[in-house]
Amino acid sequence: MIEQIFKAMAQSIIDGESEDAEDLAKQAIELGIDPLDAINKGFVVGVDHVGELFSTGEAFLPELVMAGEAMKTAVSVLEPEMSKQGTERKLLGTVVLGTIEGDIHDIGKTLVGTMLSAAGFKVFDLGVNVPVMSMVETARNENADIIGVSALLTTTMTKQRDVVEALDDMGMRPTVKIMVGGAPVTRNWADEIGADAFSEDAVGAVAVAKQLMGIE
Amino acid sequence: MQPQLRILSSELIAQIIDEAFQLMIKPGIKVQLKEARALLADAGAQVDEDQQVVHIPEDVARKALETVPREFYLYNRDGEPTVHYGGDSVHFDPGSSGVNILDADTLKHRPATTQDLVKVIKTADSLWQYDAQSTSVVCSEVPKEIGDLYRLYLVLMFSKKPVVTGAFTTQNTSAMIDMLAIFAGGRDALAKKPTAVFDVCPSPPLIWSKFGSRSLIDLARAGIPAEMVSMPLAGAAAPITLLGSVVQHTAECISGITIHQLAKPGSPIVWGGAPAIMDMRQGTTPMGAVETAMIDTAYAQVGKTFGFPTHTYLGSSDAKVVDYQAGMESSTAAMIGALAGINMISGAGMLDFLACMSPEKLLIDAEAIGMAKRMLKGMLVHTDTLATEMFEGINFKGEFLKQRITRQLLKKEQYLPSAAIDRGSIRTWEQNGATDTFARAKAQLQNLLNAYQAPDLPPDQMTELQNMVSGLAKEAGMDQLPAL
pLDDT tier for residue A167 given thresholds of 50, 70 and 90: very high
Q: What is the pLDDT of residue A184?
A: 87
Alpha carbons within 13 angstroms on the beta-carbon side of residue A37 total 11
Size of interface A-B (CB pairs under 8 A): 33
| Mean pLDDT along residues B442-458 | 96
Res B417 pLDDT > 80: yes
Q: What's the distance, CA A34 to chain centroid?
A: 23
Res B445 pLDDT > 90: yes
Q: What is the pLDDT of residue A107?
A: 85
* Inter-chain touch B427–A187, beta carbons under 8 Å: yes
Nearest CA in chain B to A185: B427
pLDDT tier for residue A55 given thresholds of 50, 70 and 90: confident
Q: What is the pLDDT of residue A174?
A: 87
Nearest CA in chain A to B428: A200
* Inter-chain touch A183–B397, beta carbons under 8 Å: no
B53-55/B29-31 β-pairing: antiparallel
Q: What is the pLDDT of residue B97?
A: 81
Question: Which residues make up the CATH 1.10.1240.10 domain(s) of chain A?
Answer: 2-85
Which segment of B37-46, B320-329, B388-397 scores lowest on mean pLDDT? B388-397
| Mean pLDDT along residues B260-285 | 97
Query: Among A57, A62, A183, whose Cβ lies nearest the Cβ of B410?
Result: A62
Q: How many CB atoms lie within 10 A of CB B392?
A: 8
Q: What is the pLDDT of residue B184?
A: 96
pLDDT tens digit string along A79-122? Answer: 899 888 888 788 899 999 999 999 888 888 988 998 898 888 99
| Mean pLDDT along residues B83-96 | 97
pLDDT tier for residue A133 given thresholds of 50, 70 and 90: very high
Task: Name every residue in B having a CB less than 8 A away from some CB of A.
Answer: 397-399, 401-404, 406-407, 410, 419, 425, 427-428, 431
Q: What is the pLDDT of residue A215?
A: 86
Q: How many CB atoms lie within 10 A of CB A26?
A: 14
Q: What is the CATH number of domain A2-85?
A: 1.10.1240.10
* End-to-end Cα separation, chain A, in angstroms: 31
Question: Which residues from A are below 8 Å from B443, CB to CB?
Answer: none
pLDDT tier for residue B398 given thresholds of 50, 70 and 90: confident
Q: What is the pLDDT of residue B256?
A: 98
| Mean pLDDT along residues A56-74 | 91
* Inter-chain touch B427–A107, beta carbons under 8 Å: no
B109-111/B350-351 β-pairing: unpaired
What does the mean pLDDT of chain A come to? 92
* Inter-chain touch B401–A62, beta carbons under 8 Å: yes
- Smallest CA–CA distance, residue A180 to chain B, in Å, is 14
Question: Which residues from B are below 8 Å from A66, CB to CB?
Answer: 401-402, 404, 407
Q: What is the pLDDT of residue B29?
A: 98
Find all residues with CB under 8 Å of A24, minimum gap 6, and list them.
A5, A8, A9, A12, A38, A42, A74
Q: What is the pLDDT of residue A170?
A: 92
Q: What's the distance, CA A55 to chain centroid?
A: 17
Res B121 pLDDT > 80: yes
How much is the ipTM here? Answer: 0.78
Indicate the pTM of the whole model: 0.90
- Smallest CA–CA distance, residue A62 to chain B, in Å, is 5
pLDDT tens digit string along B203-243? Answer: 999 999 999 999 999 999 999 999 999 999 999 999 999 99
Could you tell me if A136 and A163 are in contact, meaning their C-beta atoms sit under 8 angstroms apart? Answer: yes
Res A216 pLDDT > 80: no
- From B345, B83, B309, B316, select the one nearest B196 (Cα to Cα): B83
Nearest CA in chain A to B430: A186
* E strand segments, B307-442: 311-313, 344-348, 350-351, 356-357
Q: What is the pLDDT of residue B169?
A: 94
Q: What is the CATH number of domain A93-212?
A: 3.40.50.280
Query: Among A57, A66, A186, whose Cβ lies nearest the Cβ of B402?
Result: A66
- From B328, B346, B287, B256, select the one nearest B39 (Cα to Cα): B256
Task: Name every residue in A having a CB less than 8 A away from some CB of B.
Answer: 16, 57, 60-63, 65-66, 69, 106-107, 110-111, 183, 186-187, 200
Q: CA-to-CA distance for B267 and B264, rounded, in angstroms? A: 6
| Mean pLDDT along residues B398-422 | 93
Alpha carbons within 13 angstroms on the beta-carbon side of residue A34 total 8
- Smallest CA–CA distance, residue A80 to chain B, in Å, is 25
Question: Which residues make up the CATH 3.40.50.280 domain(s) of chain A?
Answer: 93-212
| Mean pLDDT along residues B390-416 | 92
Q: What is the pLDDT of residue A209?
A: 95
Nearest CA in chain A to B411: A60
DSSP string, B275-315: -EEPPTTT----TT-HHHHHHHHHHHHHHHHHT--BEEE-S
* Inter-chain touch A107–B402, beta carbons under 8 Å: no
Alpha carbons within 13 angstroms on the beta-carbon side of residue B240 total 2
Which helix (H) or strand (E) element contains residue B373?
Answer: helix B359-377
